[in-house]
Structure 1
Amino acid sequence: MNTPHRYVSGAIDLGEVKARAEAREQASQPAAPGDGPAPFFTVTPQNFESDVVHRSLEVPVVVLVGTPRSPESEQLREDLRQFAEGAGLSYLVGYVDADVTPEVAQAFGVQVLPTVIALGGGQPVTQFEGGQPAEALRTWLDALVTQVGPQLSGLQPAPEEAPEDPRLEQALTALNTGDFAAAIAVYDEILAGDPGNREISQARDTARLLQRLDPAARTEDPVEAADAAPGDVEKQFTAADAEVVAGAPEHAFDRLIALMTTLAGDEKMRVRDRLVELFALFDAADPRVAAARTKMASTLF
């Protein structure tokens, strides 16, 4: 076995500059969306956390820190690549070219090239320096999988994004043309098959609000009209809708809560129901909704 290269950052022949630039560019290319973990990959500053540290919480990650100037590095790189591609993702192998990304090599604190480090659970668990015969390397990898692998969580499949329902585009077109009834019908159709879909329910309720408000047909300012007639429940409802659309739901909530204090019986409950309907347009954790619910409860009880 030849003596391993001592690692000295920056000791690179000028004739390698072009190759280094090309290698760096290739290493920085992002993976295609939806791609799973590669059994053998190049470690870069950009993917160090996600593909080395975080992946080692799931399966052992073997990192080879080497250099093309070392025949032992190149042989280890080829052997590790072949073994990883046949291992069924029971472990992953990352390659650090110490000439191209010396900062990554330094992060591992290596002094000798090549050095092979195995990580599990986010921490180094074993390592060796210099070359190894293929059979000895295979035995080392098998022991790593047997002893460290069971302590980890295993690779988690990437969640698949469900394709967008084409009916949503139909509903959006209807909204943009002011055909609120058509949009509501589309949302109701979707909810019939997926009644627990909160986003669609909120979209449907928003379309209902817009249908009630019908901004294009308005000839007066609904807020001014409501302020001029504080006892008119319908005008207060319309003003509250307008304030929600204008991005001031807290004003809408306060308006209807104040209205509740002047009413009793069924009329008071009708205002409460409208408030609850407006609350549903927002996330339950929205502080404006939480504050308004408290005020409404005080008014009721």
Structure 2
Amino acid sequence: MNTPHRYVSGAIDLGEVKARAEARDQAAQQVATGTGPAPYLTVTPQNFENDVVRRSLEVPVVVLVGTPRSPESEQLRADLQQLAEGAGLSYIVGYVDADATPEVAQAFGVQVLPTVIALGGGRPVTQFEGGQPADALRTWLDALVTQVGPQLSGLQAAPAEEDAPEDPRLGQALAALNAGDFDVAIAVYDEILAETPGDQDIVQARDTAKLLQRLDPASRTEDPVAAADADPTDVEKQFTAADAEVVAGAPERAFDRLLALMVAVPGEKLRVRDRLVELFALFDAADPRVTGARTRMASVLF
């Protein structure tokens, strides 16, 4: 095991980031040329049936019913649009202005503005009222795509006239990782994120590279797990062991370790919580190992 990206078998295959980026580039090209659906749209009486109800037979459609009079609505609108534009058409976001098109808002029967409703298969599947921070929105959307998306047929977008070009920087980042040059890889991912801040594949790839840099397996002379087991209240040793367990494809052991550390060293609860949240972000939000550990973490904290 001498190539750094192979250490992340349990989290994300960095070699797949290029393929996912190609798919998103193709989707973006289709949107730009008018040959495919848009990731974000304003819902009107004219497009409601085709672009919301029928489209939800293919992918989840997230509808925000809001008003420009509400700062909470406007923030949700901006966050949902940004997230949708980086999601590769795995879902679509529609905005209903309750002031401009009250008949559309009434069709959803909402009582509170803003309200967000997710449709799948032509009917509502879940919803929430009020504002949400961007991280919570991302988690909610990831769970929606994971749980509802596979039950739908998927978008049948028109094929692009030619393959979208691959971002050469992804190859540069992967080559840097293979050479153990984590600083270069992280800098490349940060450069891409400066242009596409909603790209969760790149966020995961960058954070995985940071974990590998922190662990630095090529320079390590001791077994971090054995060292941590011998000193169960040493926070830094437990952090390093948890990194090693994630890299080895055993994130559940890493989560168990840090949850036990929160109990053993209560004065460090918030610091350990932050590290757990960082590790959770390397995985799909709906991964049962993550959802189970999140629930246990909440019990320990509160």
> Considering only CA atoms, is the larger Rg found in Structure 1 or Structure 2?
1
Where relative contact order (Cα < 8 A, 6+ residues apart) is larger, the structure is 2
TM range (shorter): 0.3 to 0.5
